[in-house]
Structure 1
Amino acid sequence: MADYHILLLGPPGAGKGTQAAKLCEKYDLDHVSTGDALRANKEMETEYGTPRSFMEAGELVPDEVVNEVLAAALEEANGYVLDGYPRNLDQVEYLDEATELDDVIFLDVDRETLVERLTGRRVDPETGENYHVEFDIPEDEAVRERLIQREDDEEDVVRERLEVYEENTEPVIQQYRETGELIEIDGTGTPEEVFDRIIDAIEE
């Protein structure tokens, strides 16, 4: 499906990364995310400066810079799954001018399920591998004993992240819903079950 363009939306913990990887493998698409694009193009010159200049100063990269970096990444991709963008209505408008989307998919997961998924995540500090206390426990006891919880996966931080997401991104979801482009997918269940729902919706 070369030149097929999928936008994947959803809150933190909805499984966008997992589903994006599955979609890319099935349809031979590139995975384009804001963070990856910024890191790969941190020296890109724009009239507002390079992404590196903002990242090294610990500042948010302005929309104008993010927009240019994303546009370049999408242009280079031979078909893509985009996630992590757009985050506001101005970015929706820019994306609409920069590319043409074939599917806009929203992974819908209720708040408490997201909290359970995110607070249960654990990371192996030696390998960087991610696990979950309920769904993905490592068999090796030595690995289990050294797992740690990242600060941004603590419950109070998780709930704040979800509040910020909803405040900033709900208008984006509503915009695509009003234009009739939004495909809403139940994001609960196993990754395989969710993926099957996405494929059924795409191939209808």
Structure 2
Amino acid sequence: MSDPHVLLLGAPGAGKGTQSKRLAETFDIEHVTTGDALRANKDMDISHMDTEYDTPRAYMEAGELVPDEVVNEIVKTALSEADGYVLDGYPRNLDQAEYLSEITDLDVVVFLDVSEEELVDRLTGRRVCDECGANYHVEFSPPEEEGVCDECGGDLIQRDDDTEDTVRERLRVYEENTEPVVEHYRDEGTLVEVDGEGTPDDVFEAIRGEVEAATE
């Protein structure tokens, strides 16, 4: 089997990060996320591009969104250095999806299908250690002592972006921007849908089966 080229799509809270890491380990391929790729290439010289700043770092330090054309260039660099990969967090819009098709060939696009209410439960239940940043969940992975970090004893807090109103707004923005991407791959015939509401192990086995079938 050749090294697979996998794109994982899903809303915030669908489990993309968890499943991408497992896929990368299982198939010995790169886990490419836009966040990691940006951090790894924050000093990339983009002075040849008609952008406000000459490096991605300058956008990040100014607290501004990195423009699509810069993100595209960084993703292109990351994918060119990988024999196989699972791409997580990109493309976020139709323009990025069309650019992606110009720079690489995907073997399979997996969409993790999770209902909005389940996503809200998952995201609003997240707790983060105020000291060391460790993540917990009140239902799925609670700490040994409520409100106290197992790692360092720090206080567990709910981040501002994990409140229900903020979560629902994040999901609305995701659907507005990324639903056309899902439809794009569905129309292409490369999209497979996996029920993302099972156990992490069940979801992973379903994804692995789709990847193996696409690369046989």
Query: TM-score of the superposition, structure 1-length normalised?
Result: 0.95
Note if contact 2:3-2:27 (Cα within 8 Å) is conserved in structure 1.
no
SS of the aligned residue for 2:149 comes to helix
Correspondence for 1:183: 192
Correspondence for 1:43: 43
Correspondence for 2:207: 198
Identity %: 65
Note if contact 1:8-1:106 (Cα within 8 Å) is conserved in structure 2.
yes
Deviation digits for residues 98-126 of structure 1 (CA, Å, limit 9, x no counterpart): 11111100001000000000000001222
Note if contact 2:110-2:194 (Cα within 8 Å) is conserved in structure 1.
yes
Correspondence for 2:67: 62
Instruction: Give the 3 Å change call, closer, same or farther, for CA 140–78 of structure 1 in structure 2.
Output: farther
Correspondence for 1:119: 124
Unaligned runs of 5+ in 1: none
SS of the aligned residue for 1:128 comes to coil
Alignment of 1:106-145 (within 5 A): 106-140=111-145, 142-143=148-149
Note if contact 1:38-1:66 (Cα within 8 Å) is conserved in structure 2.
yes
- The count of residues paired between Structure 1 and Structure 2 equals 204
**By how many angstroms is 1:10 displaced?**
0.4
One-letter code of the match for 1:35?
G
Note if contact 1:2-1:28 (Cα within 8 Å) is conserved in structure 2.
no
Unaligned runs of 5+ in 2: none
Note if contact 2:6-2:211 (Cα within 8 Å) is conserved in structure 1.
no
Note if contact 2:134-2:149 (Cα within 8 Å) is conserved in structure 1.
no
- Bigger drift between 143-152 and 98-107 goes to 143-152
Alignment of 1:21-170 (within 5 A): 21-46=21-46, 47=49, 48=51, 49-140=54-145, 142-143=148-149, 146-170=155-179
Distance 1:78 1:180 in 2: 24
**By how many angstroms is 1:199 displaced?**
1.5
SS of the aligned residue for 1:143 comes to coil
Distance 1:95 1:17 in 2: 20
Query: TM-score of the superposition, structure 2-length normalised?
Result: 0.90
